[in-house]
Amino acid sequence: MSLALSSPNMSVFSPAGAALAVRRSRWPVALLMALSAVLSAPVQAQSQPNSGRSITEWLTRMHEASRQRAYMGTLVVSAGSAMSSSRIWHVCDGTQQMERVETLTGAPRTTVRRNNEVITFVPESKTAWVEKRESLGLFPELLRTPSNQIPEFYGVRESAAERVAGHLADVVEITPKDALRFGYRIWSEKKTGLVVKMQTLGEQGAVLEQVAYTELQLDAPVRMDKLKQLMNDTKGYELHKPVLRKTTADAEGWRLKETVPGFLPMSCHTRDPEGVPAGGAPMQWVFSDGLASVSLFVEPFDPARHTQEKSAVMGATHSVTRRVGSHWLTAMGEVPAATLRRFALALERTR
């Protein structure tokens, strides 16, 4: 800052500069320059950490960081009063991305991901769950399409860099423009853009949930072949492959009589969990505004289980239940309970 200010100050207030200005009758220009230098000084000081990136550019940068890096670290998740941690390995060879998550708290569990294929090993029960996570392949392509509504509903603000897990990180605050969604504060590693810490912020900036690396080694020697080997080594494990049946809300006889601003329908499916008779599985209708997502679970009303309409909360995830005719709705998402109630009141049967 001192360097930026020194040049105009010298030219204006040095005796030679002043004499020149008077001699050439340019004093109004000189005065303007001096004034603008004085006025712009505090502005420059405030906006110095601002990279000028838009919210879409920030989110894209965070994506690209995890796509192009190999790293390992220890991650801590704090949701409400609960806290969990895990050991993370991440590697990418340009085309495919692999990740290994080994829990350090609760039951031992290993999750290995290759792009959107995920397998979770539970050594205690010798079971393994094989799934495809559609949500992992969706972004950031969506950020580049016109259906990216994020800038319409969220603003972005940067503040001074902070250190997380030994790395200097840009602090990016994503602020909601209405009360229907939460805000986020993200620490993005300065050189790479990697997300090293993230908080979900409720009303008045209260931290509802946070995820952070307590230790992180960038460009770590993580070997993809080892992770592949681990992913394929299911010997001795009982494999479960949950079956998702794609459908549409319309085909299932449901619609929203009123949309909730910013939230677009993303997918709809029924899942047939083992032991549940066909048709008894709930429909899951997923909405997203680009950052927050909401699931509407609709299942047949069961008077024995669905005794009371209620709300619950876990960290940033809220849930609201409501009876809709002969069905039972559970609306759930990382949004305020009021948003879920809007969904619950808007859902109606079309047949």
Query: What are the φ/ψ torsions at residue 190 (nearest 5 degrees)?
Result: -60, -45
State the nearest-atom distance from the C-beta of 232 to other proteins, in Å. 19
By beta-carbon proximity to other proteins, the closer residue of 37 and 192 is 192
Print the SS3 string covering 303-325. Answer: CCCCCCCCEEEECCEEEEEEEEC
By beta-carbon proximity to other proteins, the closer residue of 8 and 328 is 328
By beta-carbon proximity to other proteins, the closer residue of 8 and 321 is 321
Looking up tokens 């549940």, which residue turns up?
A: 276
State the nearest-atom distance from the C-beta of 223 to other proteins, in Å. 19
| Distance in angstroms (rounded) separating the CA atoms of residues 331 and 119 | 27
State the nearest-atom distance from the C-beta of 334 to other proteins, in Å. 8
By beta-carbon proximity to other proteins, the closer residue of 30 and 174 is 174
State the nearest-atom distance from the C-beta of 333 to other proteins, in Å. 7
By beta-carbon proximity to other proteins, the closer residue of 19 and 83 is 83
**8 A C-beta contact, residue 100 and residue 86:** no
State the nearest-atom distance from the C-beta of 93 to other proteins, in Å. 16
**8 A C-beta contact, residue 154 and residue 177:** yes
Residue 289 DSSP code: S
Q: How many residues comprise the chain?
A: 351
State the nearest-atom distance from the C-beta of 208 to other proteins, in Å. 7
State the nearest-atom distance from the C-beta of 54 to other proteins, in Å. 13
By beta-carbon proximity to other proteins, the closer residue of 21 and 59 is 59
DSSP state string for 197-262 = EEEEE-GGG-EEEEEEEEEEEET----HHHHHHHHH--TTPEEE---EEE--HHHHTEEESSPPTT
**Tokens standing for 211?**
């995820």
Sheet holding 293-300, edge to edge: 244-246, 264-271, 283-288, 293-300, 327-333, 317-324, 311-314
By beta-carbon proximity to other proteins, the closer residue of 30 and 209 is 209
